[in-house]
């Protein structure tokens, strides 16, 4: 984090700027535990939320960040990762990055790909044009790493620093490094991207994705999984541009095409039933009709959001970093 010279010890700092940030809200520990219980439909162990948090916004970039910047520990992730939907089998960015890699100047057999925060290897599996032995996976979850190894990928369980010390992740070794939905979890995003950059060949590419916050459904529904202790930071296009500027990198960004219908349905389901609740198509359509006025109001708001939004209303942003 960037700290102005002579700042007092308790000075609140944005990860990306020297300008004083603005407080958004308090996030007491008991509130977060209650929201986690609602989200997962099971009471969490009290120990997985270690402190009270507050949410702040960087006045220069719009990046929202937690205070303290204390990510969830092993107990939090062990509990949360037991949920069936914690690891996504497919994400929009998996297909987009695979499409980008097919246009790479290298022969597919020569490309080395490192996926940080790989989970059980869902993204690496989409790269069927690259030999398994050229795919490298890094994750903190032992079961996920074992799954990657069983698929023929080289995989390491631990942090990026531990992987380097074990001579698993060599500096300037990889033509492509990916980190999908990792940046928002770390306490120091500048340091994290700098570390990933060191893993790349000089002409390599780094792909990073996060939610584009606030997401469309967050206007009326609190997403505990997009807040601490799960997410330390909440990203937008301006904050990514500032991150690239700090690190001296070139940047391109991508986002899914307009998804008003799916966003409308998702918003309605979250407001009506909550998270992780299975609802039949018949029940969903009946409830939408019974609440047609509210659904129409939400649809109008989403249309206005699309017009004003820097990513056309997308709830996701994918960024490509390269050397200047």
In this prediction, residues 21-40 reach a mean pLDDT of 97
> With bands split at pLDDT 50, 70 and 90, how would you rate the model's confidence at 190?
very high
Pick from 217, 206, 201, 168: nearest CA to 315 = 217
Select the more confidently predicted residue: 158 or 109. Answer: 158
Closest to 153 measured CA to CA, from 180, 197, 114, 107: 114
- Extended strands (E) in 13-150: 22-27, 53-57, 64-67, 113-116, 135-139
Which of 152-161, 165-174, 266-275, 299-308 comes out lowest in average pLDDT? 165-174
Find all residues with CB under 8 Å of 275, minimum gap 6, and list them.
Answer: 38, 39
Sort 21 into a burial class: Cβ within 10 Å, 0-12 / 13-18 / 19+: buried
Assign 12 a pLDDT band (cuts: 50, 70, 90). Answer: confident
Q: Kindly tell me if the per-residue pLDDT of 84 is higher than 70.
A: no
- The pLDDT confidence band at residue 156, using thresholds 50, 70 and 90, is very high
Express each pLDDT in 59-80 by its tens digit. 999 999 999 999 999 889 888 8
Residues 6+ apart with CB under 8 A from 281: none
* pLDDT bracket for residue 57 (50, 70, 90): very high
Evaluate whether 176 touches 205 at the Cβ level (below 8 Å).
yes
Is residue 33 within 8 A of residue 50, CB to CB? The reply is no
Residues in contact with 226: Cβ distance below 8 Å, sequence separation at least 6, in sequence order: 184, 211, 213, 215, 218, 234
pLDDT of residue 11: 62
What token pair was written down for 27? 């996030």
**Average pLDDT, stretch 112-127?**
94
293 has pLDDT over 60: yes
Mean of pLDDT values over 169-189: 93
- How would you classify residue 51: left for phi > 0, otherwise alpha for psi between -120 and 50, otherwise beta? beta
pLDDT band, residue 277 (cuts 50/70/90) = very high
Q: Pairing state of beta strands 200-211 and 174-180?
A: parallel
Tell me how far CA of residue 287 lies from CA of 71, 206, 265, 290, 291, in angstroms: 38, 44, 11, 5, 6
Residue 110: the pLDDT is 80
**Chain centroid offset of residue 259 CA:** 19
Selected residue with higher pLDDT from 171 and 250: 250
Q: Which residue has the tokens 């029940």?
A: 283
Fold classification of 92-219+232-257+313-322 is Rossmann fold (3.40.50)
* Residue 201 pLDDT > 90: yes
pLDDT of 19 > 50? The answer is yes
Q: Is the pLDDT of residue 87 over 70?
A: no
Give the up-direction half-sphere exposure of residue 145: CA atoms within 13 A in the CB hemisphere.
Answer: 14
- Compute the distance between CA of residue 171 and CA of residue 193 in angstroms, rounded to an integer: 13
* In the chain, domain spans: 92-219+232-257+313-322, 260-308
Mean pLDDT in the chain?
A: 92
pLDDT tens, position by position, 205-228: 999 999 999 999 999 899 999 999
The pLDDT, as a whole number, for residue 109 is 62
pLDDT of 9 reads: 44
Prediction pTM value? 0.92
Cβ contact 176:204 at 8 Å: yes
pLDDT recorded at residue 3: 43
């Amino acid at each position: 984090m960037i700290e102005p010279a002579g700042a007092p010890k308790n000075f609140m700092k944005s990860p990306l700027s020297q300008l004083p940030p603005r407080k958004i809200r308090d996030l007491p520990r008991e509130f977060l535990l209650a929201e986690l219980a609602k989200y997962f439909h099971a009471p969490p162990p009290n120990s997985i939320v270690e402190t009270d948090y507050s949410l702040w916004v960087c006045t220069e970039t719009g990046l929202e960040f937690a205070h303290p910047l204390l990510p969830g520990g092993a107990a939090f992730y062990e509990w949360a990762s037991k949920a069936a939907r914690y690891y996504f089998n497919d994400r929009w960015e998996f297909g987009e990055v695979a499409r980008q890699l097919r246009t790479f100047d290298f022969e597919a057999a020569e490309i080395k790909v490192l996926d940080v925060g790989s989970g059980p290897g869902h993204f690496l599996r989409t790269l069927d044009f690259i030999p398994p032995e050229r795919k490298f996976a890094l994750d903190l979850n032992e079961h996920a790493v074992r799954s990657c190894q069983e698929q023929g990928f080289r995989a390491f369980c631990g942090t990026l620093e531990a992987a380097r010390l074990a001579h698993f992740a060599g500096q300037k070794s990889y033509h492509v490094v990916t980190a999908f939905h990792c940046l928002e979890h770390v306490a120091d995003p500048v340091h994290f991207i700098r570390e990933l950059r060191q893993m790349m060949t000089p002409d390599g590419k780094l792909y990073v994705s996060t939610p584009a916050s606030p997401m469309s459904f967050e206007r009326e529904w609190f997403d505990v999984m997009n807040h601490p202790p799960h997410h330390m930071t909440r990203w937008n296009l301006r904050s990514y541009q500032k991150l690239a500027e700090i690190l001296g990198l070139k940047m391109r960004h991508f986002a899914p095409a307009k998804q008003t219908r799916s966003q409308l349905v998702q918003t309605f389901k979250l407001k009506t039933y909550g998270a992780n609740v299975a609802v039949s198509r018949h029940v969903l359509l009946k409830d939408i009709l019974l609440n047609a006025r509210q659904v129409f109001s939400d649809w109008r708001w989403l249309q206005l959001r699309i017009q004003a939004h820097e990513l056309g209303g997308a709830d996701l942003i994918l960024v490509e970093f390269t050397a200047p």
